[in-house]
């Protein structure tokens, strides 16, 4: 793991300064004589998505330190990647844990996180989060309620868990450019914790037929683009496992009247970055890795720095050439990231290359994994920094 150093401190200072500059730019008023862009204009959009937010005890303590010892402030922790997240038309995170209350917070194995993390995610520029994971039932129905209440209060949409049966049955719809985007989310398991008998709909479990049915229902409800988040895969395995590969093939092959039912798949859970791949013409991110997590112990019982490496995917969608056609991804990118456990900061590795050979090697390892299934031939590129959607 990267140690504290003067060099890293200088890198972080530069990254945080860039984030602050971006924040200032994001809130400039329209130029005189130029109208603000219409929310209903038929135009393309950019979507960014990132991996697991998994606050171990050390992460919670860092947020308390950043808040000055009272409450928790996650904004400094995430500020280094705001320059990528905030300019997107739609930004999605994965909130792996549920929230506690009254200072009763914990890390592994049963996570209850400070609700202030929702405000930190919103301040970074996220618009919504998937909430279906193997930790969704760590504090039962109360944990789900507190989590979704806090996300609502922060202005963040959510998909994958629910407080009511009606909420569970209603697809999450978000506006991005000229498109309505449905966000659906599912998990492979809840660590053996049973669904509440009176709330079998509390968290969405992976079931191929249900996912396809939900995607079609979202399309019928008016979704132009359907994005599916899947908490799946084998922990600590760089390569996608057989279940991921099989499910990705079948889900991306599903179509209605010649139009794919699902337009993008975003994977989480494995703790390590995994490959991106275009399957049946649809982009699949098998695993983005942990965007935020404490120092991680791998399967060999020793610290594994891969548990603090991740990617952020960025996809540019263009409107269909004809009514009723598919919104096509015209550009696919990934941004390599690192959570520095000593500094308590998420780092955009492309913005921090002055950090020396060690950061270069981390970035290059992530790149090799992400491109490991041939995504470069389909146009996936490594990128960093700020880029607005197509107008």
Secondary element (H or E) of residue 145: helix 140-154
When pLDDT is cut at 50, 70 and 90, the band that residue 226 belongs to is: very high
Coil, helix or strand for 30? coil
* Residue 86 · residue 41 · CB < 8 Å: no
Cβ neighbour number for residue 58 with a 10 Å cutoff:
15
Q: How many CA atoms lie within 13 A of 51 on its CB side?
A: 32
Cα dihedral sign, 294-299-302-306: negative
* Res 41: pLDDT: 45
Query: For tokens 């540019």, what's the residue?
Result: 316
CATH number belonging to domain 43-114+133-382: 3.60.21
- DSSP class of 273: B
Separation of alpha carbons 373 and 238, rounded Å:
11
Tokens of 99: 């929230």
Mean pLDDT calculated for residue range 108-128: 98
pLDDT at residue 317 greater than cutoff 70: yes
Coil, helix or strand for 14? helix
* Residue 337 · residue 302 · CB < 8 Å: no
Tallying the residues shown for the chain, one arrives at 391
When pLDDT is cut at 50, 70 and 90, the band that residue 64 belongs to is: very high
Contacts of 352 (CB under 8 A, 6+ apart): 11, 12, 14, 15, 80, 338, 359
- Chain centroid to Cα 85, Å, comes to 10
pLDDT at residue 11 greater than cutoff 70: no
Q: What is the pTM of this model?
A: 0.89
Separation of alpha carbons 275 and 148, rounded Å:
30
Tokens of 194: 């049973």
Query: For tokens 């303590």, what's the residue?
Result: 61
- What confidence tens digit (pLDDT) does each residue in 136-181 have? 999 999 999 999 999 999 999 999 999 999 999 999 999 999 999 9
* Res 354: pLDDT: 61
Domain boundaries of the chain, sorted by first residue: 43-114+133-382
When pLDDT is cut at 50, 70 and 90, the band that residue 324 belongs to is: confident
Contacts of 105 (CB under 8 A, 6+ apart): 60, 112, 113, 114
């Amino acid at each position: 793991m990267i140690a504290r150093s003067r060099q890293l401190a200088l890198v972080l200072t530069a990254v945080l300064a860039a984030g602050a500059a971006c924040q200032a730019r994001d809130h400039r008023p329209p130029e005189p004589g130029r109208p603000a862009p219409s929310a209903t204009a038929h135009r393309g959009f950019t979507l960014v998505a990132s991996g697991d937010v998994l606050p171990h005890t050390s992460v919670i303590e860092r947020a308390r330190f950043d808040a000055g010892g009272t409450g928790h402030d996650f904004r400094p922790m995430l500020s280094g990647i705001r320059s990528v997240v905030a300019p997107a038309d739609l930004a999605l995170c994965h909130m792996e844990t549920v929230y506690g209350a009254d200072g009763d917070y914990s890390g592994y194995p049963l996570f209850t996180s400070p609700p202030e993390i929702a405000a930190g995610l919103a301040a970074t520029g996220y618009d919504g989060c998937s909430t279906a994971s193997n930790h969704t039932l760590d504090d039962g129905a109360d944990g789900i309620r507190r989590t979704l209440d806090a996300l609502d209060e922060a202005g963040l949409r959510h998909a994958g868990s629910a407080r009511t049966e009606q909420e569970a049955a209603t697809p999450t719809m978000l506006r991005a450019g000229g498109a309505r985007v449905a966000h659906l989310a599912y998990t492979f398991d809840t660590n053996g914790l049973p669904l509440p008998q009176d709330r079998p709909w509390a968290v969405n479990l992976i079931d191929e037929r249900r996912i396809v049915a939900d995607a079609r229902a979202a399309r019928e409800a008016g979704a132009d683009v359907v994005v599916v988040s899947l908490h799946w895969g084998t922990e600590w395995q760089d390569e996608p496992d057989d279940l991921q590969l099989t499910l990705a093939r079948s889900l991306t092959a599903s179509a209605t009247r010649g139009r794919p039912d699902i337009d993008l798949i975003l994977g989480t859970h494995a703790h390590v970055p995994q490959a991106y791949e275009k399957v049946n013409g649809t982009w699949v991110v098998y695993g983005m890795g942990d965007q935020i997590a404490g120092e991680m112990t791998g399967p060999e019982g020793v610290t594994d720095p891969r548990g603090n490496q991740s990617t952020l995917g960025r996809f540019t969608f263009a409107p269909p050439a004809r009514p009723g056609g598919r919104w096509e991804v015209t550009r696919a990118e990934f941004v390599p990231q690192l959570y520095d456990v000593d500094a308590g900061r998420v780092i955009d590795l492309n913005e921090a290359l002055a950090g020396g050979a060690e950061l270069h090697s981390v970035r290059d390892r992530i790149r090799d994994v992400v491109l490991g299934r041939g995504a470069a031939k389909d146009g996936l590129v490594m990128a960093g920094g700020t880029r607005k959607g197509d107008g």
